[in-house]
Structure formats: structure tokens, C-alpha cells
Chain A
């Protein structure tokens, strides 16, 4: 079974609109962390935002926020007021447990912002 599922292979969004990228996860470990990364066409993997399983509040970083619904096992990334520079591949990833350095990656969502 897929541990990280990103159901949107590609999305087109109008500039300045908000966009939600979906991510669902599957783990039986009570301690885990969820990450979102952005990968532009240049190839660099850029860390955006982190949510820990015990965090009480949804994570926010500037225009990025994470809609964390623990019971539903979802960790959707919300980008407010999208910009042309947001066009990129977006990956959701999970780390299970403590002291575990391996990330489990989703297949990614290709986001294209239209002017």
C-alpha cells in the first residue's frame, strides 16, 4: 500500500488564486513528521514546511500553510495568492518514528500557474 499518496499529477491555477495540493498518508506509528518540498525545473529540492504528528497547530510559513487533519491522515499544502514562480513540482514526504532518517515520498504534483 502507498504510504504517501498525492492524487493530483498536475494542476493549472490562475495567478493570484489560492491553491491546495493534496497529500494523504498511511502510518501506524504515533510519531511522524510530514514535509512539503518544491522542485522547480532547475532541479533543486526546496524545503517548504513541516508538520509534526504531535503539533497542536497547523504549520504556516509565509504564503504556505499546511491543512493537517490527523484523523483523516491528510496533510494538504495551501499556497495563498499564487505567483508565476510557484510553478514547480511539489512533493509530500513523511518520516516515521524518531531516529529514522529515511523519508517516504509521494509521486509529486506538477503545478503550473497561468498568468
Chain B
């Protein structure tokens, strides 16, 4: 069975600090996909990134970067120079290749960025 663990329940930082959100996953499949979603207070989940299991290259998008390490089954998310607008709950999710895009989510990490 697949599982996603986000051990950090809540993180508080001051604006402009860098912050890393951890994600550890479990799956028996060799082909799978990992995702990060952001959920602001409005409730709507916003897609951030999708990564397949064969692509271990790190990715950077503006202030966001992702570190995928198959050896440790981790897919961590770093926000550089955090801003108040980054305050939200962030979810890591896993989809197995045979799962028709259905997602298994972690419990989420609430990020609070104060001015």
C-alpha cells in the first residue's frame, strides 16, 4: 500500500527566511508520480509540481525548489525568502502508475509566515 508522511505538522518562520517542508513516501511500484499542492485558507488546492519516479533532477521555479531523492524516498520542498503570501497548508501526494491519477495525500504541513 502506498503512504505519504509529512512529519512537520506546523512550521512558523519570519518573512525572508528559507524553509523546507519534508515529505517521505512509501510505494511498491517502480513507476510513480509525486506532487505538491498548496491549500490557502480559501480551501482550494493549487497544483505546484508533478515529478515522475524516473526523473531525479531537482527543479527550481522562482522561489520554489524541490529535491527528489529516491534513495531515501523523499521529495522535499524548499521556499526561499518566504513571504506572508506563502502562508498555507502544503500537501505532498503520491500517484502510482496504475492508479489512474488518484492521489494519496500526506496530512499536510501548515506554514505560517509572519512579517
Say if A and B assemble together.
no
Chain B residues near A (Cβ < 8 Å) = none
